[in-house]
Every structure is written in C-alpha cells, then in structure tokens.
Amino acid sequence: MQPDAPPLPEIDFATARAMLEWQIELGADEAMLDAPLNRYELPVPVPAKAVAAPAAAEEAPLPASAPVHAVDPVAVAETLAAGAQDLAELAAAMAAFEHCELKRGARNFVFADGNPHARVLILGEAPGREEDLEGRPFVGPAGQLLDRMLAAIGLSRTAPDPAAAVYITNVLPWRPPGNREPEPAEIAMFRPFIARHIELVDPEIVVLMGNPACMAALGQRGILRLRGHWAEAFGCPALPMAHPAHLLRNPAAKREAWADLLALRARLDG
C-alpha cells in the first residue's frame, strides 16, 4: 500500500483568485480531471420512478409521434436574426443568444466597428485577447496592421464619408479559448446572424479575411488558394484575402495582400 499523499498547502483567497485568472487568461474554460474521462462510458442513472413503474408500463412503447424537445441552435439563430429590424436589434439578439458555449468564457461581446454606411464590409474570424478586453474587432496587432493596409488605399474605419469608410465585423462575437479557429458548428449557428448583418449594412463589397470567413460565406477553406479571386457571398461581390495575423507570421505574403488591396481599390473606382 502506498503511503498517503501529503496534504496540500492552504491557499488564501487572493492567491487562489490570481491563479484562476491566470488560467482563464491562458484560455482554460472548464475544470479538468487528473486523467481523461470518457463520459460516454459512464452508466446512465435510472430515475427512481422508472424503477418503480409497473411492468405493463415498461412494455408499452412510446407513440411514434412523441415529441423530442431538442434545441436546434441554427433554427434559433435564424428566428432571432430574421426578427432584427436594425443593427441595434441584431446586436441585442446576438448578445442574448444562449446556445454558444464561447459566451460563458468570454469577457465581452464583440459586435462591429466602423461606419455602417460604408461601401466595404470586412468579415474577420473571431475576437482575440485584445478584442475580448476592449469589446471591438481588430484592435490588436493584426487590427493595427489592417488599419495601415486600408489607409494605403484610402480607406479607414473612422472615416465619416461612406466612400472612404469600412465596416468591420467577425464570424463569431465571442473569443474562442486560446484564440483557436471557430469550429464548423459555431460557424453554422452564427451564419444566420452574419447574413442578416450584411443584409442590414448592405455594402457594395465584402472582404473575407481568412478561412473561417470563407467557410461562413462560401462554404470553402483554403485561403491561399481562394485569395485574390472574386466570388459572390450574401448577394454581394466578395474578395477573399489572407488574414492580417497570417501576414504578421509570414511577411513575404504581404506582396500578395498588396495585390488584393489594389484589386479592391480598382473595384471601388471602377
């Protein structure tokens, strides 16, 4: 028999809170066990009433028409999105949407930034750490690079003139843990909100920044193959482009990004 493990040292409240905040900052969003646990192998407890039920009730099958009360997040999103008559109502509907687990681990709801009357709408991926803290999209290093890229072709999120302005939003309004990419199920449940968002803004051009944006708009991945080729998404001309975060990791890709920016500028001018 192995000796008993020594007792854990006592931790005061301030230390415990600091440790918890550090783990949340790293992206932890749930408590984990010391060893993996396959919950599908756990026995399903039988309610006491079911055990005490008479044998005749056990033999009687449920009618084929018995309703199954399962919630379809996509259907709920479609209903909420369709009911939004303006951007304020859409933001409220998205903030109240309870079927995405990311909401429980995020600090702030991140809706959009820029001029809602702009000719260009930029669709990104999801908030990162800085965006989650500030509650606005594209405010971290990738966002700062995006602002410089747009300024190079005469566009800005702060421009009051719609002809020189951009409007920026994301596929997801909540930060995924560890800044991971949005999962297919998450993209699917927010796609109705994205479609309604673009319908309300009614831009002339949609720029799809990165793979998740292309998945939501075109149902395709492979941004390095898709970039620079015009498509149609949500009833608008759409231009896939590499995400600025990719450009920060791969500076050589800035040459292709500049070509895409020139194509955007030419489309706006022509």
pLDDT digits (tens, 9 = 90+) for 117-132: 999 999 999 999 999 9
Q: Tell me if 60 is assigned to some domain.
A: no
- Count of all residues that appear for the chain in the document: 270
Strands 166-170 and 231-233 come out as unpaired
pTM above 0.95, yes or no: no
> Is 130 part of any domain?
yes
Question: Residue 257's domain is classified under what CATH number?
Answer: 3.40.470.10
Give pLDDT, residue 17: 72
Residue 183: domain span: 73-269
218 in a structural domain:
yes
Count the domains in the chain: 1
Q: What is the pLDDT of residues 61-78, one digit of tens each?
A: 545 554 556 889 999 999
Q: Is 21 helix (H, G, I), strand (E, B) or coil?
A: helix
Q: Could you give the C-alpha distances from 99 to 111, 126, 167, 217, 264, in angstroms and in order?
A: 17, 17, 26, 21, 36
Please indicate, yes or no, if residue 239 is contained in any of the structural domains: yes
Tell me whether residue 49 is in a domain: no
Q: How far is CA 55 from the centre of its chain?
A: 50
Q: What is the largest CA-CA distance in the chain?
A: 81
Residue 16 lies in a domain: no
CA atoms within 13 A on the CB side of 168: 25
Q: Is residue 137 a contact partner of residue 163, using CB atoms and an 8 Å limit?
A: no
Q: Is residue 67 part of a domain?
A: no
